[in-house]
């Protein structure tokens, strides 16, 4: 029986030869992830059922990233609650302020995700790790508590949708744009509980940073997971970060898909998602005149080193418009250090940007860039729902780092070719 990459990984973790869509499985998990917002709930449930120790202290991962450094007493208490549990359980992979960064950029960087893994996390953007050829999905904190205790979880096998990107992207077009094109076509629920599998020439040649940006946003189409078969760049990336063995899976040529969507990558412009849905996309040539107040470059979608380099390339020699607050947030300590060593911080500071320590902060309207009523922001983040970045009467426009940087300079939404 022919299978997709998602079906193969789930079958292997369920101890079965083959599985099919809608099968209910109990699978062994390789990583169980939570953060300072979701871990306290999971820990409370874990303790409520009377479990004393996690199933494997190497596989339960906790990251302080959403409201850190603590923005108020409540957020400080949440982080403290998680920190004390991590110390009690002697977790190998607990990452606090100054030692980690945004979880979905951090775990691949630390070599904690490998091709063929099954990963669950108490955060919807856990789907990011599919870029490395893993099955990865977000779940609720109660499910995470059960997995912390047993190392197992149940899952329904998703049907697969195939997204084929032919050709090569043009100048200033990145993985973010290819993903926005997909979400724009199928809608925010067009992949509900489906596996979004990405393939084609553009995907085969894509860098790891861009691949991670694409799968990160699979949940914005309602998907259970996003996934790609590893290319050589991915294998080199993983092997440079871990010596642990792994299994590489790929879909069979005659695997069954519920639907196939094809794109000409060379025809895709830089895209902007207008409020209040990631599917409300317009090409940069059709955005019109939209004045802005803030630009945020960072997050688990576009806070990696390649994103920092792209933003710096556009910003070099320019300053943010006087009416625009420009905030740059490298996603991890490693990205922060590398950007600093490359002189990118000088470019950002010369452009009058505020450069932050790694945090999810503004993406979820937490801190480090909350919007007031009536304000507009261009962000390299993944969501632009009502009130996502602050006041319910604010607006968020999603874009790639080049468009975000150009917009900061222009004081309105615009592309780098205008600079």
123/203 same-domain check: yes
Residue-range definition of the domain harbouring residue 235: 5-263
225/116 same-domain check: yes
CA distance 195 to 284: 29
Q: What is the number of domains present in the chain?
A: 2
Tell me which of 232, 263, 294 is where a domain ends. 263
Residue 59 inside a domain? The answer is yes
- pTM for this structure? 0.95
Residue 35 inside a domain? The answer is yes
Tell me which of 213, 236, 263 is where a domain ends. 263
Residue 390 inside a domain? The answer is yes
CA distance 348 to 294: 15
18/75 same-domain check: yes
CA distance 281 to 286: 10
258/305 same-domain check: no
258/295 same-domain check: no
Pairing of strands 353-355, 281-283: unpaired
Contact partners, residue 177, CB within 8 Å, separation at least 6: 169, 268, 269, 270, 271, 400
235/295 same-domain check: no
The domain that holds 309 is classified in CATH as 3.30.499.10
Residue 61 inside a domain? The answer is yes
216/297 same-domain check: no
186 close to 261: Cβ distance less than 8 angstroms: yes
pLDDT of residue 1: 78
Residue 311 inside a domain? The answer is yes
Tell me which of 222, 244, 263 is where a domain ends. 263
Residue 278 inside a domain? The answer is yes
Residue 269 inside a domain? The answer is no
131/204 same-domain check: yes
Token code pair at residue 171: 């100048």
Residue 251 inside a domain? The answer is yes
26/145 same-domain check: yes
pLDDT by 10-residue block (mean), the chain, 419 residues: 96 97 98 97 94 97 95 95 97 96 97 98 97 97 96 97 97 98 97 97 97 98 98 97 97 96 97 97 97 98 98 98 98 98 98 96 92 98 94 97 98 96
279/259 same-domain check: no
Question: 216: burial class by Cβ within 10 Å (0-12, 13-18, 19+)?
Answer: buried
76/208 same-domain check: yes
87/226 same-domain check: yes
């Amino acid at each position: 029986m022919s299978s997709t990459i998602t079906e193969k990984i789930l079958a292997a973790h369920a101890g079965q030869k083959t599985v099919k869509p809608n099968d209910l499985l109990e699978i062994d998990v390789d990583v169980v992830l939570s953060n300072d917002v979701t871990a306290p709930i999971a820990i409370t449930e874990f303790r409520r059922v009377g479990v004393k120790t996690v199933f494997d202290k190497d596989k339960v991962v906790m990251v302080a990233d959403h409201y850190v450094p603590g923005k108020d007493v409540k957020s400080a208490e949440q982080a403290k609650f998680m920190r004390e549990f991590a110390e009690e359980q002697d977790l190998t992979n607990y990452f606090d302020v100054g030692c980690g960064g945004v979880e979905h950029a951090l775990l691949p960087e630390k070599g904690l995700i490998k091709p063929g893994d099954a990963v669950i996390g108490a955060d919807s953007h856990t789907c990011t790790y599919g870029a490395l050829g893993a099955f990865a999905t977000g779940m609720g904190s109660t499910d995470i508590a059960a997995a912390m205790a047993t190392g197992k979880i149940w899952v329904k096998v998703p049907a697969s949708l195939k997204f084929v990107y032919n050709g090569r992207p043009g100048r200033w077009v990145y993985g973010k744009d290819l993903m926005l094109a997909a979400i724009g076509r199928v809608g925010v629920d067009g992949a509900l509980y489906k596996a979004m599998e990405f393939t084609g020439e553009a995907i085969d040649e894509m860098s790891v940073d861009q691949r991670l940006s694409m799968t990160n946003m699979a949940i914005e189409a309602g998907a259970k997971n996003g996934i790609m078969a590893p290319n050589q760049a991915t294998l080199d990336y993983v092997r440079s970060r871990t010596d642990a063995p792994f299994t590489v899976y790929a879909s069979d040529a005659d695997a069954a898909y519920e639907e196939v969507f094809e794109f000409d990558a060379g025809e895709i412009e830089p895209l902007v998602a207008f409020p209040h849905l990631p599917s409300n996309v317009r090409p940069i040539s059709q955005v019109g005149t939209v004045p802005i107040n803030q630009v945020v470059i960072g997050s688990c979608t576009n806070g990696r080193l390649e994103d920092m380099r792209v933003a710096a390339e556009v910003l070099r020699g320019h300053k943010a418009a006087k009416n625009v607050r420009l905030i740059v947030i490298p996603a991890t300590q490693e990205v922060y250090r590398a950007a600093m060593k490359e002189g990118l911080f000088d470019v950002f500071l010369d452009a009058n940007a505020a450069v932050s320590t790694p945090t999810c902060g503004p993406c979820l309207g937490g801190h480090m860039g909350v919007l007031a009523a009536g304000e507009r922001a261009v962000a390299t983040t993944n969501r632009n729902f009502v009130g996502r970045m602050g006041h319910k009467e604010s607006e968020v426009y999603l874009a790639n780092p080049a468009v975000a940087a150009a917009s900061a300079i222009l004081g309105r939404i615009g592309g780098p070719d205008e600079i």
